[in-house]
Structure 1
Amino acid sequence: MGDMNRNSNLYIEAARVLHDIYEKKGSIKTCVHRSSFQEKQMLTALVSQTLRFAKVLETVVKRTKLLENNRLLWNDGMLARVLLYDFMIGPGLYKPGRLKVVMVKNKEIITSEFDRLLTAYGVNECSELPSSTTEALPRYVRVNLIKTSVDEVINSFVDKGWTLLHVPTDFSSFKEVCQNLDENQFLRDFHLDDLLVFPAHTDFHDSRLVQDGTVILQDKASCLPAHILSPPEGAVVVDSCAAPGNKTSHMASLMGNKGTIYAFDHKEDRIEVLQERMEGAGVSCKVARCMDFLRVKTDSQTYRDVEYVMVDPSCSGSGIVSRLDSLTNDDASVSQHRLGQLHKLQAQILRHAFSFPKVKKIVYSTCSINEEENEQVCEEIYEKFKERFKIKKVMKNWPERGREGYQKSDRYLRASPTATLTNGFFVACFKRRKRKQEVGSMENGMDQEEVSSEDDQGSQKQNGMDDEEKEGSKKRKKRKEKQSSEEGGEELMEINEKKEKKKKSKKRKRDMYEEETPVKRKEEDMGEKKEEEKEEEVLERSVKKRKERTSKSSHCSDTIDIRDKSEKMDTVESIASVGTENSTAKIHKKKKKRSKD
C-alpha cells in the first residue's frame, strides 16, 4: 500500500483515517484535516458512512475472505471496508486504480453475500441495511393520548395486517421477543403503557398516524422522564429546556391536555420547532417562552402554582447510539474541561428548579452516559436540598441503575442499548419530603417515608410503576385528592417560613441601621422633634388668633374650632363677662339719675 501515491487514492487515505480514529488519535474532523488528500468533503463522507455500516461491512469482509485472497488489499480490513461501501452501498468507486481489480474479481461472491443480508433483514436496498450503531434497537411508537387511545391505535395496525404479540411476564423474555420480531409483528411495551414496540428500522415516516400526530416516533428512554414526573390533570408544570418538544407533548398527553406547561428555550428557532410540534400533536395547554430558564423569576405571581419541573438540559449526547462518539471523540471533545463546563451548567439549571416555592417533584434527565453529567450533578444538588427533598426510587423492576460508588446509586435510573434496548439515558427523581419527615429524617438520619414507600411498592403492579406513574383517570383523580390534602400543610409551612424570613430580614436591616448610622438617626430624631415643636407653636398661634376674633365680634363664634372644647368655653366665658360689665354700668347710671331727681 505504501507504493501508491497518497494524494491520488481516496480509499487508501480513507483507510488511514479510519485506523487513526480506531486508535483514538482524533475525531473524524481532526484526522481528515491532517490528511493531505485534497477533497476533504469527499473523504469525510466516505469515512463517516463506512463507520456507520461498520458491522455489515466487517461481516462481508470475513465471509468473503477478501483479505486472504487479495494481496492488493495488504491485509488491511479498513481498506476492504471503504472499497466495499462505495462498491455496494455508496455512489460507486471513485478512481480506485488497481484496487478496482479486487472488487471486479470478487463481484459475484460480494453480491451474493449482500443479497443474503438483504433477505435476512427484510430490506430491498443495501442502503437500508442496519447501521452498526442501531442494529439492536427496536422501533418505538408513542401513542398521543390527546388524539386517540392505545387500543384504537392497536386496532388500526391490526386492520393493516400487523400481528399483536402477547407481552411476556419477565423483562428478559420481553427483550428476546423484541430482538426477534418478524415483519408485521408488534407488541405493547413492558414498562410504559402508551408505548408500542415494532421491528428495528420499521419506516413509519409516511404513515398517516405519524403525519397527523396520532402517534409520535420516540425512543423508549426519552419517554421515561414524563412518566416518572407524571403530572396529574390540571397541574402547573415547567419544562426548563423544552425544545424540540417531545417531552413537552408527552407530558401534555399524560395530563389529558388539561393544565399549564411553561416551556422554555433560549433560541427562537428552537421555539418555532417546538410550536410546530405542539400544533401537530394537538397540545393546547402549553405556554412557550423564548428565554433562558436561569433568568426566570421563580417567585413571581406567574409561577406561584408550579409544582412539577422537568429538567432535561444540554448534554454531551454520548448516550445516543446513532452517534459514533465511541469511535470519533478525540481527547479534546471528551476532556475533563468540557465535561466540567457541562456539569456546571447542568447543576445551575437543576438548582434553579428547586427555587419554585410550591414545587413538589423534579425530574432530571440526560441522554449522556458520563457520570460527570449524571450522578455527580445529582449528588451535588441533593446535598444542598436534602432537608426538604429526597431522591425517590422509581420503576422498581427497571433492570439498570446508577453507577456504583455514589450515595444514591440504587435510586437513579440508567438505560443502555444492551440492558434496555434503548439509547443511553439517565433519570433521577427529586420529591419534596412531608413536614414530619423533614424533622424525623434529620433526627434519625434516615428517610422514613422512603422506607414506607418502598414497602408499599410491593402491592403494586409488576411493571414497577408507583401510583403517581400509572395511567388512568381514576388513579389520577385519587392522586390529585391526595396531593390537595397534603398541599394545605405544605402551604402553611411555606407561609410560616416566609414570615420568619421577613422578620429576620427586617430585624437584620434594623440592627445594621442602628449600628452603622447612630449619628444620622439622632439627627433625624432631633429634626422630627423640632418639626413637632414648630407645629405646636403654629397651632397655639392659630388658637390665640381665633380667641381674639371671637372676643371682638360675637358672630365670629360660629367659626370656633369645635375640636378644642376648652377654647370654646373660654370664649363663652369672655363674652358673658363683657355682657355683665355693660349691664352693671347701666344700673349705676340709673341710680345716680334718681338721686339727682
Structure 2
Amino acid sequence: MLEEEMARHTHAKRTAKRPSSRDIAADKKDGKRRMSGAERSAYFARREAAKVLRMVLQGDANRRAVASIKSLIYRPSVRNKKGTFALVCQTLKHLHAIKDILDASSILNSKWKRQEELIYVVVYDILFGQAVSLVGDVEKFLSCHKDILQSTLKQLLLQRKVTSVRQLVALYEVPDISVPRYVRVNTLKLDVDSALLALSKKYTVKKDELLPDLLVLPSGTDLHDHPLVKNGRIFLQGKASSMVAPALAPEPGWEVLDACAAPGNKTVHLAALMRRKGRVIACELNKARIKRLKETITLSGASNIEVLNEDFLNINPKAPSYSKVRAILLDPSCSGSGTASSRLDHLLPSKAAGQDFDMERLNKLAIFQRKALQHAFSFPAVERIVYSTCSINQIENEDVIMCVLPMAESYGFQLVTPFPQWQRRGLPVFEGSEQLLRTDPAVDGEGFFIALFARNGANSARMNKKDTKAACNNCTRTKNFSRRKHMLPCIHTNMFYRWIYHQLNQRR
C-alpha cells in the first residue's frame, strides 16, 4: 500500500468526527455556529494543503520544484502534517478527475478560479473523501453544487469505461516500491547507540551494514511525529542520499563548499562528519530554498555552516574567502528520475501516463551540470570533489563525467572509487566507469549516482598507500588532451599536470 494511501485513512478518520453536544449547545447559546475542534482542524488542514499544492503544481509546471512533496509537507511551518499529507496526496491522485469534473460542470467563475488549489482540495473532500462538515466560503459554495459534481463524476466514469473511482484512479497509478525506512542519526546531538536504544523500544530497528550513522526500520514506519525527528536528533534520509557526504569524507578542520545545498540534509551531514570543526559553506541560489536550508541547519544544531545566497557558477575560485576550500560537494539540479517514487513524483501532473520524455530539459540540465563540475575543478586548494545526482539517466551521469575528464586531469584530478564494497557501479560507457557508483531504484529504493574526484600529488597525502598504488596502476591508461592521445607517466604532482596543460595549450 502506498504511504499516501495509509495517510488517507488518517484523514478520513479525522474528518468523520462530528461536533460534540457541548459545542452545539454553546453555539446555540451564542446565537451563532462555532467550529468544533475537529472542524477547525479540517478547515486549516485544507488551507495548509492548498498552499503546499500551489507550490507543488507551480514547480511541476515550471520544471523547477522548490522541494519535494514530502519536504514541503513536513517542514516546521505545517502544523497538521498527517492531515495535510493525506489531503495533498489524495488530491494529486484524483487531480485528473477533479479537473475534468470542474471543466465539464462549468460551475467556477473567475472569482473561484483564483483559489483553484483550495477548490481542488475541497472537491476531493466532497466527492472522494469522507468529510461530514464543510466550514468555509469555498466549502459552502461547492456544497451547493454537490449534486452537479456527483452527476458529472458519473458521466466521467462512463466515458472512461470504468465502474468505480478506484478503477479511475488506477489509470494513472504506478507500481509502488517497498523499501525500508532509513534514518540518519545526527551525531551532533545524539550518538548512534542511544538512538538505536530509543527507537528499539517501539520499532524493529538495526544498524546499516555500510554506513555507521544510518539505522534501518521496516518499510512504512511513520516517524514524522517522533520526538527524535522533531528535535533534529535523527533525520529521515534515504540510504543513497546518506552515502554522498561520506563519499566526500571531509576531515575535521577542513573548509568544505556545498555548491547546491538546499534543502540541507547533505550539508548538515557534512557538518556532523566534521564534528563542528572547520567551515561548511552552503551555497544556494534560490531564495525560497534558502529558507528551507536555514531551517534544516537550525534543526541540526550545526554551528560551523555559513549560508551563501549565490550562484555557484558566479563564485570566484581565486577570491581569498575560498582559497582554503579543500572539498566540494556538488549535488546540482537534476531530473530527479531516481527518486520519483520516494518523492511521490508519480502523483505530479507532468508524470501522467503516456507523457513524452522531456529530452530537451535533460540536455539543459546536463549542460549546467557539466559547467558546475568544470567550475569546481578550478578551486586552487580543493583536494576532493563529489558529483552526485538523484537521476538514473546516463546523460546526467556517465556522460557528464566522460565530458569533463580531460579538464579534470589537466587540473590533476582523477576518479577514485567510493565505497569499493558496493556492487552497483557506473554504466560501462568509458574506461574507468567502474569507479563510479550507482544505486538501483528497484533494489535500493532510490536511483543515485556518485562520482569522486581526488587531486594527485601532495594534496592527496590523506590517500593511504594502498589507494595510491591503485591510483598509480590506473595512470598508465590513455588520457585525451586536446583531442590527441598521450601516454603520461605516473607522476603525481600538480606542477607536472599544469606544465602538460600549458604545453598542450601552446600547441593549439
Alignment of 1:113-128 (within 5 A): none
Aligned to 2:187: 145
The alignment status of 1:37 with 2:104, answered yes or no, reads yes
Opposite residue 247 of structure 1, the aligned amino acid is K
CA distance change for structure 1 residues 239 and 97 in 2, over 3 Å: closer, same or farther?
Answer: closer
Q: Deviations over 1:109-136 (max 9, x none)?
A: x99xxxxxxxxxxxxxxxxxxx955541
1:197 to 176, 199, 216: 216
Opposite residue 194 of structure 2, the aligned amino acid is E
Could you tell me which runs of 5 or more consecutive residues in structure 2 were left unpaired when the two chains were aligned: 1-93, 109-115, 134-145, 167-172, 461-467, 476-491
Aligned to 1:323: 345
Aligned to 2:326: 307
Counterparts of 1:34 and 1:383 in 2: how far apart (Å)?
53
Task: Report the 3-state secondary structure (helix = DSSP H, G, I; strand = E; otherwise coil) of the residue aligned with 1:94.
Answer: helix
- The alignment-based identity, stated in percent, is 33
Task: Report the 3-state secondary structure (helix = DSSP H, G, I; strand = E; otherwise coil) of the residue aligned with 1:386.
Answer: helix
Opposite residue 431 of structure 2, the aligned amino acid is Q
CA distance change for structure 1 residues 89 and 452 in 2, over 3 Å: closer, same or farther?
Answer: farther
Counterparts of 1:404 and 1:495 in 2: how far apart (Å)?
30
CA distance change for structure 1 residues 429 and 222 in 2, over 3 Å: closer, same or farther?
Answer: same
Contact 2:177 2:442 in 1 (8 A): no
1:397 to 421, 427, 431: 421
Counterparts of 2:177 and 2:283 in 1: how far apart (Å)?
34
Q: Deviations over 1:429-467 (max 9, x none)?
A: 111122799xxxxxxxxx96426699xxxxxxxxxxxxx
Aligned to 1:413: 437
Q: Which has the higher contact order (CA 8 A, sep 6+)?
A: 2
After TM superposition, the structure 1 stretch with the greater mean CA deviation from structure 2, 406-415 or 313-322, is: 406-415
Contact 1:232 1:255 in 2 (8 A): yes
TM-score (norm 2): 0.59
Opposite residue 395 of structure 1, the aligned amino acid is F
Counterparts of 1:89 and 1:409 in 2: how far apart (Å)?
55
Task: Report the 3-state secondary structure (helix = DSSP H, G, I; strand = E; otherwise coil) of the residue aligned with 1:431.
Answer: strand
Task: Report the 3-state secondary structure (helix = DSSP H, G, I; strand = E; otherwise coil) of the residue aligned with 1:358.
Answer: coil
CA distance change for structure 1 residues 435 and 206 in 2, over 3 Å: closer, same or farther?
Answer: closer
The alignment status of 1:367 with 2:390, answered yes or no, reads yes
* Length, aligned pairs only: 346
1:384 to 394, 407, 414: 407
Opposite residue 411 of structure 1, the aligned amino acid is Q
1:210 to 221, 229, 232: 229
Contact 2:338 2:441 in 1 (8 A): no
1:290 to 280, 291, 309: 309
The alignment status of 1:94 with 2:115, answered yes or no, reads no
Shift of 1:331: 5.5
Contact 1:229 1:310 in 2 (8 A): yes
Counterparts of 1:240 and 1:428 in 2: how far apart (Å)?
15
Larger relative helix fraction: 1
TM-score (norm 1): 0.51
Task: Report the 3-state secondary structure (helix = DSSP H, G, I; strand = E; otherwise coil) of the residue aligned with 2:183.
Answer: strand
Opposite residue 244 of structure 2, the aligned amino acid is P
Shift of 1:202: 1.1
Counterparts of 2:406 and 2:418 in 1: how far apart (Å)?
20
Contact 1:136 1:417 in 2 (8 A): no
Contact 2:206 2:217 in 1 (8 A): yes
Aligned to 1:431: 454
2:471 to 439, 443, 450: 450
Shift of 1:246: 0.5
